[in-house]
Structure 1
């Protein structure tokens, strides 16, 4: 009888230990999911960009800071450098223009008139030195003129 009396407390302590491990694992999973949701929301908020005019209006406020600005590539403004040299171009929102210097691999669809988003450090009265260049893909579902 003493063997059964000892087995019950040991079994209960094992069950508590197992329940505690499940609780810790559930909390860890919930924490990981919460962190992923938080970082996902942050990157969604970071996808916002300002127009060239908005950037110029807030120039003093964003001086020396990283910015994300969108606009259309000004036709005829693209100046390609040689291998290893930066690409110079301008973007516009229809009202204002901004000079951009980009060193990196150009997207295949980068061209005059294409809508782009550039990221880089802003310094007034200097071209923005972009380290990221995103181009908007034209929709395949747009109708052709006259249809």
Structure 2
């Protein structure tokens, strides 16, 4: 082989290897920073495809703050509260100042780490901004896993009993 062709081939192979390594490292870094979204029911029972998060995994959870579940530590900024959709509740622990719109019965999205199957250590808590708003992930997950209960259905159930 001609020395000139050898030099070109070496240069092209080094360029392809370098580009491949760069793309591989970027994909690895992005996969480490990906946070998956769960509803409380999906967190406890698993997603429809059978996947469940592992302890120590970073994730986001969205749902409604259960009324009467907010517990504040008077000596620090630690807060603990339960989040539920229509299934089981999940406990969220947070150390910091909660958003002004945070209150019981309101929708929130918490981002953090799974400590055990029903407890999350949150590093960020986001509260919805008005009565009509629901985070898109929460709305999509609620539509997918739960049929909406309409007012007429509630009336029918009440009259039957």
TM-score range, shorter chain: 0.5 to 0.7
**Runs of 5+ consecutive residues of structure 2 not aligned to the other structure:** 134-161
**Runs of 5+ consecutive residues of structure 1 not aligned to the other structure:** 1-11, 143-147
Distance in structure 1 (CA, Å) of the matches to 2:7 and 2:129: 59
Deviations 1:11-64 (A, max 9, x none): x64663355134303321222123323543x358x4333322233335xx9698
Aligned position for 2:137: none
1:49-128 → structure 2 map (5 Å cutoff)? 49-57=37-45, 65-66=55-56, 68=59, 69-82=61-74, 84-103=76-95, 105-106=96-97, 108=99, 111-112=102-103, 113-118=106-111, 119-123=113-117, 128=119
Aligned position for 1:135: 126
Q: CA deviation at 1:92?
A: 1.1
Q: CA deviation at 1:84?
A: 3.9
1:23 maps to which of 13, 34, 37: 13
Q: TM-score, normalised by structure 2?
A: 0.52
Distance in structure 1 (CA, Å) of the matches to 2:3 and 2:39: 64
Structure ID, larger Rg: 1
Q: TM-score, normalised by structure 1?
A: 0.55
Q: Output the aligned Cα RMSD.
A: 3.8
Is the 1:106–1:133 contact (alpha carbons within 8 Å) kept by the matching residues of 2? no
Distance in structure 1 (CA, Å) of the matches to 2:120 and 2:21: 38
Aligned position for 2:159: none
Distance in structure 2 (CA, Å) of the matches to 1:131 and 1:115: 12
Q: Secondary structure at the match of 2:18?
A: helix
Q: Secondary structure at the match of 1:77?
A: coil
